[in-house]
């Protein structure tokens, strides 16, 4: 009620009523709903705070109050930017998948189908790199998680999750920490899926699937390895069986080529029964091919020897580990039955020697290479071999007397590798001593091309001929091209005179001499005028001479006996009294020193056979065309 109406009403009341109205309290004014609800809450004793009223701002012409019935203008919001990194993704369902179905790709693999899906391979490789980065990032966050929370202030703009911001640390044993560990497992599963896809896809895109069967068979033969290659590794599963298990197409090619099954490699440390079945299968699949049999790591069993003996007329390369019993069994088995055996390798794992004569290999018309290794001295009197037809011989260990007898009897020897042990006599006095030839008027000439001597007494071998009186050489090696010695404590005074009789020596390797100086090198160069390479094995250093820089090494040919005799008549004086050259004639200023690996890579890149001289295991390759003639 307005004030004027209130005064007019009071003036019309009687006096008693007017006086009574003064005694009663005035009627409270009407309150808003908010004030009434607040009063009720206060009366009921509620302790909840009363929210402050929202401040009202005056309307400006820029923000007018919308008229009744008019729509309100849209309100603009700032969008929340999502982190583009994969580690912050809450779900992995949107990631690309690379499913594999064995029912779809196995038949194609068996049929050797070529399919090059470059685009999918490129995307899979990119996804694989992304997964590896995310897994590494999440694992780093998990490992660096802290035990107690502390306030951290991000230093860089952008995502402030622990996986994206290194200044923010993850709280250990928290819900986020558990989620990170779960994400790592999920990403690892995705990574395995991508890697499996890449393996199959790259297999389909391999260029080897486009090769014709003839060329593919040639590749298989190379993988199986050359029959006369030195044994440098022991493969648990033969390469032929691995090739046959790749696909049905490869299996068909492998089974059709008997040459692949002619190389038999076995490790007899395990059960014997599977080896017997494997030996029988190899003999059947090889057909009429020459056999390369290699049994490692344990003495060959007599049952396995009997199994291989079914095709003994096809033996060409034989590598066996034997003891006294199996060696006698082998001798009785091969006697007069090995017309095609070209290489024989026997490794004895017993220190004791059986005095029984091993004469089973006496008749072997094709035998050219013999390798014998034992713990005790090798005594030629206990083994009858066709010594006069051997071209390659490796013995470990022997005595000085044995070396002299070998050189005397092996008239066609081209490659000799031996470890010379201490003493002139054998340790077993019950054995017959070897026959050392007497020093005649002229030295015995031998066509030896490569001589490798090991042991602390290997220098004595070169001037063993100086023992008689008057001193004169027992043997002369006019065709020697490669010489390897172990010089312990420095060169012997008579070593230079022995080297002076090797006028064609091109490669000289020294081991065990770490204190060599330039003056010593010049002395060797003066003694060997045809020297091309001097190899210091202890320092892995190679010094090349003027001859190495001017021309490539020439291939070696086999000299006929008549040519060798004519050469002996003309060079006999020069071999005993070599013609010395001055330092100026030798061109010492053109000597170069380099690392052996650098020189090997350079020679191998040019396809030079001289690279084989820098690797002890490859020295046989230089004369490979002479070993199995």
Q: Is the pLDDT of residue 176 over 90?
A: no
* 336: region left, alpha or beta (phi > 0 left; psi from -120 to 50 alpha): left
Which of the residue ranges 244-258, 340-354, 586-600 has the most confident prediction, judged by mean pLDDT? 244-258
Smallest CA-to-CA distance from 624 within 558, 525, 542 is with 558
Contacts of 100 (CB under 8 A, 6+ apart): 193, 196, 197, 200
**pLDDT at residue number 576:** 38
Q: Is the pLDDT of residue 273 over 70?
A: no
Strands (E), 305-362: 315-322, 343-348
**pLDDT at residue number 427:** 47
**How far is 250 from 242, CA to CA, in rounded Å?**
10
Q: What is the mean pLDDT of the chain?
A: 73
Which of 272-286, 328-342, 534-548 is predicted with the least confidence, judged by mean pLDDT? 534-548
- Domain parsing of the chain, residue ranges: 86-209, 211-367, 423-629
**pLDDT at residue number 442:** 63
Strands (E), 202-300: 263-267, 291-296
Q: Is the pLDDT of residue 137 over 80?
A: yes
Predicted confidence band of residue 27 (pLDDT cuts 50, 70, 90): low
Q: What is the mean pLDDT of residues 18-44?
A: 52
Tracing tokens 């194609």 back to the chain, one arrives at 108
Per-residue DSSP letters for 371-432? EEE-SSPP-GGGB---GGG-SEEEEEEE-HHHHHHHHHH-TT--EEEEEE-S-SS-S-TTSP
**pLDDT at residue number 537:** 80
pLDDT higher at 435 or 357: 357
- Tens-digit pLDDT profile for residues 80-97: 456 767 777 666 667 777
At how many degrees (to 10) do helices 175-204 and 118-143 cross?
150
Q: Is the pLDDT of residue 352 over 70?
A: no
Q: Is the pLDDT of residue 366 over 60?
A: yes
**pLDDT at residue number 348:** 83
**pLDDT at residue number 17:** 58
**pLDDT at residue number 542:** 84
Q: What is the mean pLDDT of residues 574-600?
A: 61
- Tens-digit pLDDT profile for residues 111-129: 667 777 788 888 888 889 9
Predicted confidence band of residue 571 (pLDDT cuts 50, 70, 90): very low
Q: Tell me the CA end-to-end span of the chain in Å, nearest whole number.
A: 138
The model scores a pTM over 0.85: no
Predicted confidence band of residue 539 (pLDDT cuts 50, 70, 90): confident
* β-pairing verdict for 392-398 and 415-420: parallel
Provide the token pair at 430.
């019950």
Q: What is the mean pLDDT of residues 100-104?
A: 68
Q: What is the mean pLDDT of residues 208-234?
A: 71
Q: What is the mean pLDDT of residues 25-42?
A: 51
User: What values do phi and psi take at 235, rounded to 5?
Assistant: -90, 125
**How far is 240 from 531, CA to CA, in rounded Å?**
43
pLDDT higher at 33 or 330: 330
Contacts of 69 (CB under 8 A, 6+ apart): none
């Amino acid at each position: 009620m307005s004030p004027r109406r209130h005064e007019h009403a009071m003036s019309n009341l009687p006096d008693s009523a007017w006086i009574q109205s003064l005694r009663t309290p005035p009627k409270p004014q009407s309150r808003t709903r908010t004030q009434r609800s607040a009063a009720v809450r206060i009366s009921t004793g509620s302790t909840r705070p009363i929210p402050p009223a929202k401040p009202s701002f005056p309307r400006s012409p820029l923000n007018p109050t919308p008229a009744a019935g008019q729509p309100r203008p849209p309100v603009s919001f700032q969008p929340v930017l999502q982190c583009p990194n994969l580690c912050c993704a809450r779900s992995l369902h949107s990631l690309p998948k690379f499913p594999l179905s064995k029912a779809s790709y196995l038949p194609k693999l068996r049929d050797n189908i070529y399919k090059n899906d470059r685009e999918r391979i490129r995307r899979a490789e990119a996804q694989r790199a992304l997964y590896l980065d995310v897994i590494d990032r999440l694992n780093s966050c998990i490992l660096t998680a802290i035990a107690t929370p502390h306030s951290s202030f991000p230093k860089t703009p952008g995502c402030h999750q622990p996986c994206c911001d290194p200044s923010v640390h993850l709280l250990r044993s928290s819900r986020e920490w558990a989620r990170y560990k779960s994400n790592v497992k999920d990403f690892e599963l995705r990574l395995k899926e991508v890697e499996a896809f890449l393996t199959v896809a790259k297999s389909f895109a391999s260029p080897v699937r486009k090769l014709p069967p003839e060329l593919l068979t040639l590749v298989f033969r190379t993988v199986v390895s050359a029959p006369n290659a030195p044994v440098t590794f022991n493969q648990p599963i033969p390469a032929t069986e691995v090739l046959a298990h790749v696909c049905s197409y490869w299996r068909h090619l492998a089974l059709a080529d008997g040459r692949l099954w002619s190389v038999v490699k076995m490790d007899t440390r395990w059960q014997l029964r599977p080896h017997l079945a494997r030996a029988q299968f190899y003999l059947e699949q090889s057909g009429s091919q020459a056999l390369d049999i290699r049994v490692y790591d344990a003495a060959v069993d007599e049952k396995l020897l009997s199994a291989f003996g079914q095709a003994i007329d096809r033996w060409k390369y034989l590598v066996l580990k034997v003891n006294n019993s199996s060696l006698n069994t082998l001798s009785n088995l091969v006697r007069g039955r090995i017309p095609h055996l070209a290489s024989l390798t026997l490794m004895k794992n017993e220190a004791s020697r059986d005095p029984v004569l091993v004469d089973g290999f006496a008749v072997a018309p094709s035998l050219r290479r013999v390798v014998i290794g034992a713990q005790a001295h090798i005594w030629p009197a206990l083994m009858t071999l066709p010594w006069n037809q051997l071209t390659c011989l490796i013995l470990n260990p022997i005595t000085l007397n044995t070396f002299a007898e070998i050189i005397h009897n092996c008239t066609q020897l081209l490659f000799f590798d031996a470890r010379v042990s201490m003493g002139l006599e054998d340790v077993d006095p019950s054995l017959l001593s070897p026959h050392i030839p007497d020093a005649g008027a002229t030295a015995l000439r031998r066509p030896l091309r490569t001589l490798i001597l090991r042991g602390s007494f290997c220098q004595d071998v070169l001037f063993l001929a100086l023992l008689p009186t008057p001193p004169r050489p027992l043997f002369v090696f006019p065709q020697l091209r490669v010489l390897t010695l172990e010089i312990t404590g420095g060169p012997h005074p008579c070593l230079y005179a022995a080297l002076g009789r090797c006028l064609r020596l091109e490669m000289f390797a020294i081991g065990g001499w770490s204190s060599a100086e330039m003056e010593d090198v010049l002395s060797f160069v003066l003694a060997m005028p045809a020297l091309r390479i001097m190899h210091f094995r202890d320092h892995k250093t190679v010094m090349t001479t003027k001859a190495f820089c001017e021309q490539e090494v020439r291939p070696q040919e086999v000299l006929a006996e008549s040519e060798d005799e004519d050469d002996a008549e003309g060079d006999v004086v020069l071999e005993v009294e070599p013609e010395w050259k001055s330092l100026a004639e030798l061109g010492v200023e053109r000597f170069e020193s380099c690392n052996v690996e650098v020189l090997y890579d350079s020679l191998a890149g040019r396809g030079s056979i001289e690279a084989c001289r820098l690797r002890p295991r490859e020295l046989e390759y230089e004369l490979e065309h002479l070993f199995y003639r």
